[in-house]
C-alpha cells in the first residue's frame, strides 16, 4: 500500500488544487444512527439459469470472491415464472406439472423452462407469441378459474407513431368455456407514466354494439367506427360456473381492411389478458440447474446465502413446497430466503398482469404450503417497482390519469382485510429508475429516489402488517436502467454505490445487482452486443479483444469497494449514520462500525466539476492515519474497438494511506469519482488529546 498525502488540510498542494474547485460543506453525525445492515446481504447478485452456463460462473468464481459477494439469487429474472425446478415428475391431464414423490421429494433431475399453454399477453421484446393473435385455431387463451369480476383481453392496435386508428368490426373465435354475454370497448388513454392495463373502467368506452349475447363459435360484432389505441373484449358471464373464458383468436377490421396481424412469429398484434390458467409445455432445459447452483454457491463461500424465486405463473403451491422440502429437509441446505414469482404485475410475465387481490390470495396459498414444510423460512411476495399502480381513474376530458392506487398497498390491504396481515416477513421489489435513458445524468438524477419511496412503503407496512417493525425490504434486481446505453460506462459505478447505499440508509435490508454477466445479443442501444446489465463481461469477446474476456465492469469495482472497503464483516456490524452535503452532486455516506472505524464514501456525480469537500464530524474523533481507496473515470474507459466493446484501460481502484488524519479535514473530489476514507477512532482519554 502506498502512502499518499492526498487530503491533508492546509497543505499547499490542497490549496492549489482547491483553487479551481467548487466548495461543499459536508457534515457527518456519527451519533445519529439511520439503519444497520448486513454486508453479506446488501451486495449480492443474480445468477440466471436461463442465460449463463455453469462453466462461465465456475471460471469466474474467483471474481465473486474478490468482490466479497455471498448472496446469489436463482433462477432470477422473468423465466422464474416458467421454470420447473425438478425434472422428475409428470404432467397431468390439465398439463399441470407434478414432482415425483411429492410432498416428500427424495430425488432430483435437472429442471426445465416451459411455455404457458394459455398465454394471453404478448410480452414486448420477448417475441413469444400470445394465443389470441397467433393465427392458429389450435391454440387459445384461457382465464384463471374463480377470479372475481369481469375477465378481459385487449388488443394494442396503435399506429407506429402510437396514435389511435379507425376500427368498426371485431371477430372473436370462442373456445370453451365462452362468454354468454360480453361487450366490445375501446380506449385512447395518455399512457405516459402509467401502464394502460391497470386503468379501471373509466378508461374504457362501450362501442355502439352494446352487450352481446353469445352461444359460442364465432362472434362477428360490427359497430360504429371509432378511433382507438386499444380495443377490449370484456367478458361478463361465463358458460360455466368458475367464471372462466377462453378465446382462440381475435381479429379487428376497419370495413374490409384487417387491422390486426394474426401470425405465429412474435410479430403479431400485441395483446394483454386479465388472467391466465395454469398449464404449460416443455420448452428447454435450464443452463444451470438447482444442484449446480447450490454447488456454485458453496464454492464461492461456505456461508454464501441463496435466495430462491419459485415459479408462480406455471407452477403451484405444492411444487414450491416440494422445493422447500427437497432443499431444506432432504438435503439440509437451510435456505432462508424465498420469493413467490417475479414481477407478477407485468404483462411480460407468463401469466401477467395479475391484480393485487388475486396475487395476494394466491400468495397466501404459497406461503402456507411452503412454511408448513419449514416454518423458519422467510417467504416474500415479489413486486416490480414499489410505485406501480392499478385501478387508475382517468380524467374523462384529458384521458390522462387522475387518481391512482398503488399495487403494493392494495396487496397488503387485501391480506390485512382477510386476516393474513401476519404472514408478511419481507417484501421484495425491483427497480430500474429509467427506461432507455437519453443521458447518464437522467439515471444519476434518481440515485436518491429511496428517500421518497421507502417512507411510503414503510407506511403501507405499518398500516397493514401485524408486525411492521420486523418486515424486511429486499431489492432483488436493480441497475441504472432498462436498455441503457450507459450501463457499462464508468458512471454505473457512481450510480450503483450511491443508489444501493440510499436504499440501505432508508431501511433496505437486502440487495441483488442485476446481473453477474452481460447479456447475450441482440444488439443493445450503444450498438454493441456487450453492454447490458452485467458486472462482468459474459465471455463473448474474441479476436483482438480476447484478453478482455470476462473483464470487470465499473459496477463490479463499485460493489467490491462497498463490500471490502466501506463495510465490515457482519460479526463486527455496520450502521449507516446521518450525513449532509451542501452540493447536490456530492453524495456522502458514513458507516459507524463496532471496530472503532468510520468509513466515509464520497461520490462526485458531476462529470466536469471538481469539488472540495470540507468535512465536519460530530460524535467521532479521528486519530492517526486513515486508509483510502479511490476510483475515477480515468481508470476505466468503455468504448467500441474493432467492432467490439470493452474497457481500456480497466484499472481497479487505487489505495493508499493519509497521515496524520486528526480532527476535521478536506477532501478533493475529482469529476466522476468515488473515494472511501476509513477513519480510525481516537480512543485516548479526553485529557490526553
| Interval 123-153: pLDDT, tens | 766 677 889 999 999 999 999 999 998 999 9
In percent, the amount of the chain with pLDDT more than 70 equals: 93
**19: DSSP letter:** T
Confidence label for 10 from pLDDT (cuts 50, 70 and 90): very low
Confidence label for 645 from pLDDT (cuts 50, 70 and 90): confident
Asked if pLDDT for residue 682 goes beyond 90, the answer is no
Asked if pLDDT for residue 558 goes beyond 90, the answer is yes
Asked if pLDDT for residue 1 goes beyond 70, the answer is no
Asked if pLDDT for residue 686 goes beyond 70, the answer is no
| Distance from C-alpha of 37 to C-alpha of 221, rounded to nearest angstrom | 60
Confidence label for 290 from pLDDT (cuts 50, 70 and 90): very high
3 state SS of 132: coil
Mean pLDDT, residues 653-666 taken together: 82
Quick one: three-class SS letters along 80-107?
HHHEEEECCEEECCCCCEEECCCCCCCC
Confidence label for 688 from pLDDT (cuts 50, 70 and 90): low
| Distance from C-alpha of 246 to C-alpha of 143, rounded to nearest angstrom | 6
Per-residue pLDDT at 511: 98
Contact between residue 121 and residue 352 where contact means Cβ atoms under 8 Å apart = yes
Question: Please, which contacts does 187-192 make with residues 24 or more away whose CB atoms are closer than 8 Å?
Answer: 187/154, 187/228, 187/229, 187/230, 187/231, 187/232, 188/164, 188/227, 188/228, 188/229, 188/230, 188/399, 189/229, 189/230, 189/394, 189/399, 189/400, 190/398, 190/399, 190/400, 190/401
| Distance from C-alpha of 628 to C-alpha of 566, rounded to nearest angstrom | 10
Sign, Cα dihedral of 258, 261, 264, 270: negative
Contact between residue 181 and residue 227 where contact means Cβ atoms under 8 Å apart = no
**269: DSSP letter:** P
39-116+282-538 CATH: 3.20.20.80
DSSP string, 630-671: EEEGGGEEEEEETTEEEEEEEPPPEEEEE----SSEEEEE-S
In percent, the amount of the chain with pLDDT more than 90 equals: 79
Q: Which residue has the higher pLDDT, 233 or 540?
A: 233
Confidence label for 6 from pLDDT (cuts 50, 70 and 90): very low
3 state SS of 437: coil
Q: What are 24's strand-pairing partners?
A: 613
Domain ranges of the chain: 2-36+573-688, 39-116+282-538, 141-278
- What phi, psi does 63 have (nearest 5°)? -70, -40
Asked if pLDDT for residue 14 goes beyond 80, the answer is no
Mean pLDDT, residues 627-637 taken together: 96
**114: DSSP letter:** E
Confidence label for 623 from pLDDT (cuts 50, 70 and 90): confident
Cβ atoms within 10 Å, residue 672: 24
Per-residue pLDDT at 540: 84
138-195 pLDDT tens trace: 999 999 999 998 999 999 999 999 999 999 999 999 999 999 999 999 999 987 656 6
Confidence label for 57 from pLDDT (cuts 50, 70 and 90): very high
The contacts of residue 683 (CB under 8 Å, 6+ apart) are: 596, 623
Per-residue pLDDT at 18: 56
Confidence label for 3 from pLDDT (cuts 50, 70 and 90): very low
Asked if pLDDT for residue 50 goes beyond 90, the answer is no
- Answer CATH for 141-278 from 3.40.50.300, 3.30.590.10, 2.60.120.260, 1.10.287.3510: 2.60.120.260
Contact between residue 118 and residue 287 where contact means Cβ atoms under 8 Å apart = no
237-289 pLDDT tens trace: 999 999 999 999 999 999 999 999 999 987 899 999 999 999 999 999 999 99
Q: Find the angle CA(659)-CA(665)-CA(666) to the nearest 5 degrees.
A: 105
| Distance from C-alpha of 567 to C-alpha of 555, rounded to nearest angstrom | 17
Q: E strand or H helix at 221, and its extent?
A: strand 218-228
Mean pLDDT, residues 438-447 taken together: 95
Sign, Cα dihedral of 413, 415, 419, 422: negative
Contact between residue 640 and residue 463 where contact means Cβ atoms under 8 Å apart = no
For residue 272, CA distances in Å to 121, 151, 155, 247, 487 come to: 4, 11, 7, 13, 30
Confidence label for 9 from pLDDT (cuts 50, 70 and 90): very low
For residue 169, CA distances in Å to 66, 283, 460 come to: 62, 36, 44
3 state SS of 500: helix
Q: Comparing C-alpha atoms, which of 616, 617, 624, 605 is closest to residue 670?
A: 605
Mean pLDDT, residues 637-661 taken together: 87
385-436 pLDDT tens trace: 999 999 999 998 888 888 999 999 999 999 999 999 999 999 999 999 998 8
Per-residue pLDDT at 639: 87
Q: What burial letters (b/e) apply to 284-318, b meaning 16+ CB within 10 Å? A: eebbbbbbbbbebbeebbeebbbbbbbbbbbbbbb
Q: Which residue has the higher pLDDT, 542 or 461?
A: 461
For residue 501, CA distances in Å to 10, 65, 105, 320, 407 come to: 31, 21, 41, 32, 25
Per-residue pLDDT at 685: 65
Per-residue pLDDT at 11: 35
The contacts of residue 685 (CB under 8 Å, 6+ apart) are: none
The distance between the two most distant Cα atoms of the chain, rounded to a whole number of Å, is: 94
Mean pLDDT, residues 513-537 taken together: 71
374-387 pLDDT tens trace: 999 999 999 999 99
Q: Does domain 2-36+573-688 have CATH number 2.60.40.1180?
A: yes
- The alpha carbon torsion through 447, 448, 452, 458 (nearest 10 deg) reads 90
Q: Which residue has the higher pLDDT, 20 or 182?
A: 182
Q: What is the mean pLDDT of the chain?
A: 92
Q: Where are the alpha helices (DSSP H) in 210-355?
A: 290-300, 317-324
Contact between residue 184 and residue 214 where contact means Cβ atoms under 8 Å apart = no
The contacts of residue 502 (CB under 8 Å, 6+ apart) are: 447, 448, 449, 450, 451
Quick one: three-class SS letters along 572-627?
CCEEEEEEEECCCCEEEEEEEECCCEEEEEEEECCCCCCEEEEEEEECCCECCCEE
475-491 pLDDT tens trace: 999 999 988 888 999 99
Confidence label for 13 from pLDDT (cuts 50, 70 and 90): very low
Asked if pLDDT for residue 203 goes beyond 50, the answer is yes
3 state SS of 544: helix
| Distance from C-alpha of 184 to C-alpha of 212, rounded to nearest angstrom | 8
Q: E strand or H helix at 236, and its extent?
A: strand 230-238
Amino acid at each position: 500500500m502506498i502512502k499518499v498525502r492526498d487530503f491533508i488540510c492546509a497543505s499547499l498542494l490542497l490549496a492549489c488544487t482547491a483553487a479551481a474547485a467548487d466548495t461543499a460543506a459536508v457534515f457527518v453525525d456519527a451519533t445519529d444512527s439511520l439503519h444497520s445492515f448486513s454486508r453479506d446481504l446488501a451486495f449480492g447478485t443474480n445468477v440466471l439459469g436461463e442465460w449463463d452456463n455453469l462453466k462461465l460462473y465456475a471460471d469466474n468464481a474467483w471474481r465473486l470472491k474478490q468482490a466479497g459477494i455471498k448472496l446469489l439469487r436463482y433462477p432470477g429474472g422473468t423465466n422464474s415464472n416458467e421454470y420447473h425446478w425438478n425434472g422428475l415428475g409428470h404432467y397431468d391431464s390439465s398439463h399441470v406439472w407434478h414432482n415425483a414423490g411429492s410432498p416428500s421429494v427424495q430425488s432430483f433431475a435437472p429442471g426445465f423452462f416451459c411455455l404457458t399453454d394459455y398465454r394471453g399477453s404478448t410480452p414486448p421484446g420477448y417475441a413469444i407469441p400470445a394465443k389470441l393473435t397467433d393465427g392458429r385455431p389450435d391454440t387459445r387463451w384461457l382465464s384463471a378459474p374463480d377470479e372475481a369480476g369481469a375477465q378481459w383481453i385487449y388488443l394494442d392496435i396503435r399506429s407506429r407513431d402510437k396514435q389511435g386508428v379507425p376500427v368498426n368490426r371485431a371477430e372473436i373465435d370462442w373456445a370453451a368455456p365462452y362468454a354468454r354475454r360480453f361487450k366490445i370497448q375501446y380506449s385512447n388513454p395518455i399512457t405516459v407514466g402509467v401502464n394502460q392495463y391497470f386503468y379501471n373502467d373509466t378508461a374504457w368506452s362501450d362501442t355502439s354494439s352494446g352487450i352481446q349475447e353469445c352461444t359460442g363459435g364465432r362472434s362477428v360484432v360490427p359497430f360504429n367506427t371509432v378511433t382507438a389505441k386499444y380495443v377490449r373484449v370484456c367478458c361478463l358471464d361465463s358458460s360455466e360456473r368458475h367464471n372462466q373464458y377462453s378465446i382462440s383468436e381475435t381479429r379487428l377490421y376497419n370495413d374490409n381492411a384487417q387491422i390486426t396481424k394474426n401470425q405465429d412469429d412474435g410479430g403479431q398484434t400485441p395483446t394483454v389478458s386479465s388472467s391466465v390458467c395454469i398449464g404449460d409445455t416443455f420448452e428447454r432445459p435450464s443452463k444451470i440447474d438447482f444442484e449446480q447452483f447450490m454447488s456454485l454457491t458453496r464454492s464461492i463461500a461456505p456461508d454464501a446465502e441463496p435466495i430462491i424465486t419459485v415459479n408462480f405463473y406455471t407452477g403451484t403451491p405444492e411444487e414450491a413446497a416440494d422445493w422447500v422440502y427437497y432443499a431444506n429437509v432432504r438435503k439440509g441446505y437451510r435456505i432462508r430466503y424465498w420469493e413467490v414469482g417475479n414481477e407478477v404485475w407485468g404483462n411480460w410475465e407468463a401469466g401477467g398482469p395479475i391484480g393485487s387481490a388475486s396475487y395476494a390470495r394466491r400468495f397466501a396459498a404459497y406461503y402456507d404450503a411452503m412454511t408448513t414444510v419449514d416454518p423458519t423460512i422467510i417467504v416474500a411476495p415479489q413486486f416490480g417497482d414499489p410505485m406501480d399502480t392499478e385501478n387508475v381513474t382517468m380524467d374523462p376530458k384529458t384521458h390522462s390519469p387522475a387518481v391512482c392506487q398503488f399495487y403494493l398497498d392494495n396487496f397488503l390491504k387485501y391480506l390485512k382485510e382477510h386476516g393474513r396481515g401476519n404472514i408478511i416477513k419481507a417484501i421484495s421489489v425491483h427497480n430500474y429508475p429509467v427506461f432507455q435513458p437519453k443521458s447518464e445524468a437522467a439515471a444519476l438524477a434518481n440515485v436518491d429516489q429511496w428517500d421518497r419511496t421507502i417512507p411510503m412503503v414503510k407506511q403501507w407496512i405499518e398500516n397493514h402488517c401485524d408486525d411492521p417493525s420486523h418486515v424486511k425490504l429486499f431489492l432483488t434486481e436493480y441497475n441504472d436502467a432498462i436498455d441503457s446505453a450507459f450501463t457499462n460506462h464508468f458512471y454505473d459505478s457512481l450510480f450503483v454505490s450511491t443508489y444501493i447505499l440510499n436504499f440501505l440508509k432508508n431501511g433496505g435490508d437486502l440487495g441483488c445487482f442485476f446481473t453477474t454477466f452481460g447479456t447475450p445479443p441482440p444488439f443493445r442501444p450503444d450498438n454493441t452486443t456487450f453492454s447490458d446489465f452485467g458486472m462482468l463481461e459474459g465471455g463473448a469477446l474474441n479476436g483482438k479483444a480476447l484478453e478482455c474476456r470476462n473483464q470487470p465492469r465499473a459496477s463490479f469495482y463499485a460493489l467490491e469497494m462497498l463490500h471490502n472497503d466501506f463495510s465490515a464483516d457482519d460479526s463486527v456490524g455496520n450502521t449507516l449514520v446521518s450525513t449532509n452535503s451542501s452540493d447536490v452532486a456530492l453524495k456522502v455516506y458514513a458507516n459507524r462500525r463496532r471496530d472503532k472505524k468510520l468509513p466515509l464514501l464520497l461520490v462526485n456525480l458531476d462529470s466536469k466539476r471538481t469539488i472540495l469537500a470540507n468535512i465536519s464530524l460530530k460524535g467521532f474523533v479521528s486519530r492517526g492515519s486513515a486508509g483510502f481507496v479511490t476510483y475515477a473515470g480515468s481508470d476505466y474507459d468503455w468504448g467500441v474497438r474493432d467492432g467490439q466493446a470493452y474497457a481500456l484501460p480497466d484499472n481497479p481502484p487505487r489505495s493508499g494511506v493519509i497521515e496524520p488524519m486528526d480532527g476535521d479535514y478536506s477532501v478533493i473530489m475529482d469529476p466522476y469519482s468515488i473515494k472511501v476514507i476509513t477513519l480510525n477512532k481516537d480512543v485516548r482519554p479526553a485529557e490526553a488529546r
